[in-house]
């Protein structure tokens, strides 16, 4: 249907003005390319029907109101939900209630603002194309000269170069102002104290398979395999599970005793089974990649590589120190810890001596 056919019942005086193609444009010797002009503008339903425009306005307003409600929900979640609360969300599984609520509310708030702005632009803002000739944006030479002259005059009148006391104290004041922001960093949280130095591993704690939730026997660890473990009694539905597993995560491999290069590592192993922290010593990512021929494990975040046959030493990447090893033994047919880690797990921290 033609433009006229679609709008034959609409009075011509209420239709927005529209630009048409430039008539009679022809190529000349000076301008070999003819000006094609613009095609006829097609009016949207909202341009000619105020009820449709009102519906679009209400839709945009509703999206903005939902965004406002989501922002209030974000603030309420931040204030009311405990940081260690764990909930089960299908199909994600057990997850931090605070992180889930903050991510959901903030995502809804940002999405509704963007969706409202897009709907506003596509249905209510003018969509008429306007052609304009290009012109130089560079200032004229006389304007440049005047600006430079004014700047030099202002510098002279301020006596900035002459009054050295004022100049130096100004620099000092501006340099010290940012210290106020640095002091505010103190409110990011309490100092960690000694809690980064210890884990839940101690003598007599059994090693539990993190996948099956069953205590591990020596025969469960095959040569060349990588098994992840956690302390007995640590369950995913516990409110502080994420905080604890961030330090307690363990990986076990079985290596032929003659292939273990480090004597201390051999003495802390059991029948060639060695247990190391799963937490990378660079920035704390979980290590998950194992190469059974070389006994190397790789952190997927920044490619730090550790040799599990040589004390967990760093052989490549930005990690600063070796993976901590857990002393393990066997009791009643099950693997258990003979002691805690010999040193703090994870990346270095400023209080670490």
For the chain, 353 residues long, give each residue's pLDDT as a single digit of tens: 444 444 445 555 555 554 444 444 566 767 777 667 677 878 888 888 899 989 999 999 999 999 999 999 999 999 999 988 899 988 888 889 999 999 999 999 999 999 999 999 888 888 877 777 777 788 889 999 999 999 988 888 777 777 788 778 878 888 887 877 777 776 677 776 778 888 999 999 999 999 899 999 999 998 888 999 999 999 888 888 888 899 999 999 999 999 999 999 999 999 999 999 999 999 999 998 999 889 999 999 999 999 999 999 999 999 989 999 999 999 999 999 999 998 899 998 776 65
Greatest CA span in the chain, whole angstroms?
A: 100
Q: Using an 8 Å Cβ cutoff, are 249 and 231 in contact?
A: no
CATH number for the domain whose boundaries are 205-341: 2.102.10.10
Token reading at 222: 């095959």
Domain boundaries, the chain: 45-124, 205-341
For residue 211, the 8-state DSSP code is T
pLDDT digits (tens, 9 = 90+) for 287-315: 989 998 899 999 999 999 999 999 999 99
Q: Which residues contact 189 (CB under 8 A, 6 or more apart)?
A: none
| Alpha carbon separation from 111 to 76, 116, 283 (Å, rounded) | 19, 8, 31
- Residue 155: partners with Cβ closer than 8 Å, 6 or more residues away: 161
The helix/strand/coil state of 286 is strand
pLDDT of residue 193: 74
What sign does the dihedral 70-75-78-79 (CA atoms) show?
negative
Angle between helix 97-123 and 50-80 (nearest 10): 160
Q: How far is the C-alpha of 9 from the C-alpha of 7, rounded, in Å?
A: 5
pLDDT digits (tens, 9 = 90+) for 187-227: 677 776 778 888 999 999 999 999 899 999 999 998 888 99
pTM over 0.85? The answer is no
Residue 224 has phi, psi (to 5 degrees) of 90, -5
């Amino acid at each position: 249907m033609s433009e006229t056919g679609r709008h034959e019942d609409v009075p011509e005086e209420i239709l927005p003005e529209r630009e048409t193609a430039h008539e009679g444009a022809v190529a000349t010797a000076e301008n070999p390319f003819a000006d094609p002009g613009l095609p006829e503008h097609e009016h949207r339903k909202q341009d000619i029907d105020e009820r449709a425009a009102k519906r679009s306005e209400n839709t945009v307003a509703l999206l903005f109101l939902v965004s406002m409600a989501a922002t209030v929900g974000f603030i309420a979640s931040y204030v009311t939900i405990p940081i260690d609360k764990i909930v089960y969300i299908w199909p994600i599984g057990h997850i931090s209630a605070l992180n889930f609520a903050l991510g959901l509310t903030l995502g809804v708030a940002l999405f509704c603002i963007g969706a409202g702005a897009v709907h506003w632009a596509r249905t209510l803002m003018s969509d008429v194309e306007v052609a304009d000739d290009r012109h130089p944006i560079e200032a004229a030479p006389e304007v440049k000269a005047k600006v430079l002259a004014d700047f030099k005059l202002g510098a002279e009148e301020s006596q900035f170069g002459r009054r050295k006391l004022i100049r130096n104290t100004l620099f000092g004041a501006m340099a010290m102002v940012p210290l106020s922001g640095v002091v505010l960093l103190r409110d990011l949280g309490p100092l960690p104290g000694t809690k980064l130095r210890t884990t839940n591993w101690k003598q007599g704690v059994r090693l539990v398979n993190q996948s099956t939730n069953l205590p591990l026997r020596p025969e469960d660890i095959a040569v060349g395999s990588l098994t992840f473990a956690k302390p007995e009694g640590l369950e995913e539905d516990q409110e502080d599970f994420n905080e604890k597993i961030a330090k307690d995560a363990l990986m076990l491999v079985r290596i032929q005793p003659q292939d273990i290069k480090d004597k201390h590592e051999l003495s802390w192993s059991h029948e060639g089974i060695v247990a190391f922290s799963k937490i990378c010593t660079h920035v704390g990512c979980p290590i998950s990649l194992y190469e059974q021929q070389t006994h190397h494990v790789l952190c997927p975040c920044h490619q730090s590589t550790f040799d599990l046959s040589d004390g967990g030493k760093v052989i490549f990447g930005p990690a600063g120190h070796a993976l901590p090893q857990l002393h393990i033994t066997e009791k009643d047919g099950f693997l258990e810890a003979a002691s805690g880690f010999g040193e703090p797990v994870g990346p270095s921290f400023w209080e670490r001596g």
